[in-house]
């Protein structure tokens, strides 16, 4: 996916969200955003939005002198999701099709994206996920490919969201599948890193690796050999969130994307409306 004209105002919106999180000093916010605005003409529209977004976020962290501005937010949402997990696990286990219910619920945590949305409506998204919120829901294709695959790579997105993912991973493992989960290689926004995986106990459920990079999504040239081997040898890839969609769509067969379309550019690329939920095969 290439960078769309719609992405440029979103880069600034994402920048404002990050700066506003870091400081209440309005003068400082304006100074930083002015410098970020000067970056926009240098961004390559041939690159995907996640790549360009990462450059913007790195610049903000540099200007603000912060390496991990969302550290406390990640802890907050990890705990919030852990508190919800027992009830959701009960819903999954009593559902007519536990795998389908776990797949639906896995999208819920994708609303925890503090770079785009400052307010997080988990309860509202839960109702959408269980009802008519999915504009594209290619579950039968997903189940068929899952039944055939033995080695699965699950590429995670946000902190907190990984608890919802662990509920789906539990169901996948009950089918006798070998699952590797992947987090980011370093802090970027509130994306999940290894600390989050350990905090929510995901490392006790499956093997967890990282991408080797703190770029948003999967930027192949920035990733580690260990991650690339897992990506290239997996028979099925499950990728969560917009960043992973922007960077992986069309790169290999047998990827299923699970996400909420949070911006006009991604929604248009998917052929859905902004706010729709999606389970789609690449």
Q: CA 249 to CA 92: how far, in whole Å?
A: 29
Domain 71-281 superfamily per CATH = Uncharacterised protein PF01937, DUF89, domain 3 (3.40.50.10880)
The Cα angle at residue 282 between residues 211 and 109, in degrees rounded to 5: 60
Q: Which residues pair with 281 in a beta bridge?
A: 256
The answer to whether the CB of 111 falls within 8 A of the CB of 81 is no
List the structure tokens of 74.
């990640």
One pLDDT digit (tens) per residue for the chain, 282 residues? 899 898 999 899 888 988 988 899 999 999 999 999 999 999 999 999 999 999 999 999 999 988 888 899 899 989 989 998 999 999 999 999 999 999 999 987 676 655 444 455 667 777 777 777 799 999 999 999 999 999 999 999 999 999 999 999 999 999 999 999 999 999 998 999 999 999 999 999 999 999 999 999 999 999 999 999 999 999 999 999 999 999 999 999 999 999 999 888 899 999 999 989 999 998
| pLDDT per position as a tens digit, 113-156 | 554 444 556 677 777 777 777 999 999 999 999 999 999 999 99
The pLDDT of residue 187 is 94
pTM of the model: 0.92
The pLDDT of residue 126 is 74
The pLDDT of residue 121 is 66
The pLDDT of residue 188 is 93
Q: Helices 26-39 and 49-64: crossing angle, nearest 10°?
A: 140
Instruction: Give the CA dihedral 47, 256, 127, 273, nearest 10 degrees.
Output: 40
φ, ψ for residue 153 (rounded to 5)? Answer: -105, 125
Query: Closest Cα to residue 263, out of 57, 113, 119, 157?
Result: 113
The answer to whether the CB of 239 falls within 8 A of the CB of 213 is no
**Burial profile 238-272: b = 16 or more Cβ within 10 angstroms, e = fewer:** bbbbbbbbbbbbeeeeebbbbbbbbbbbbbebbeb
Q: Helices 71-94 and 161-174: crossing angle, nearest 10°?
A: 40
- Distances 107 to 137, 166, 219 between C-alpha atoms, Å: 11, 12, 22
């Amino acid at each position: 996916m290439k960078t769309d004209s719609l992405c440029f105002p979103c880069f600034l919106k994402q920048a404002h969200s990050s700066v506003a999180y870091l400081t209440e000093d309005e003068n400082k916010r304006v100074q930083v955003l002015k410098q970020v605005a000067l970056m926009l003409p240098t961004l390559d529209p041939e690159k995907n939005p996640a790549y360009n977004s990462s450059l913007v976020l790195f610049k903000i962290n540099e200007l603000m002198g912060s390496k991990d501005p969302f550290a406390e937010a990640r802890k907050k949402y990890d705990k919030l999701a852990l508190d919800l997990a027992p009830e959701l696990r009960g819903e999954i286990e009593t559902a007519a099709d536990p795998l389908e219910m776990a797949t639906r619920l896995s999208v819920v945590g994708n609303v925890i994206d503090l770079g785009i949305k400052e307010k997080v409506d988990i309860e509202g998204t839960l109702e959408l996920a269980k009802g008519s919120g999915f504009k594209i829901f290619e579950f039968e294709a997903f189940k068929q490919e899952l039944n055939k695959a033995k080695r699965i790579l699950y590429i995670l997105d946000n902190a907190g969201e990984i608890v919802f993912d662990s509920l789906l991973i539990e169901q996948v493992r009950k089918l006798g599948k070998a699952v590797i989960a992947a987090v980011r290689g370093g802090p970027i926004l509130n994306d999940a890193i290894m600390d989050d995986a350990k905090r929510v106990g995901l490392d006790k459920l499956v093997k967890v690796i990282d991408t080797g990079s703190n770029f948003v999504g999967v930027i192949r040239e920035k990733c580690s050999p260990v991650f690339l081997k897992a990506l290239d040898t997996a028979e099925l890839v499950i990728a969560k969130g917009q960043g992973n969609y922007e960077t992986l769509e069309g790169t290999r067969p047998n990827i299923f994307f699970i996400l909420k379309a949070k911006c006009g550019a991604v929604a248009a690329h998917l052929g859905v409306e902004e706010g729709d939920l999606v389970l789609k095969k690449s």
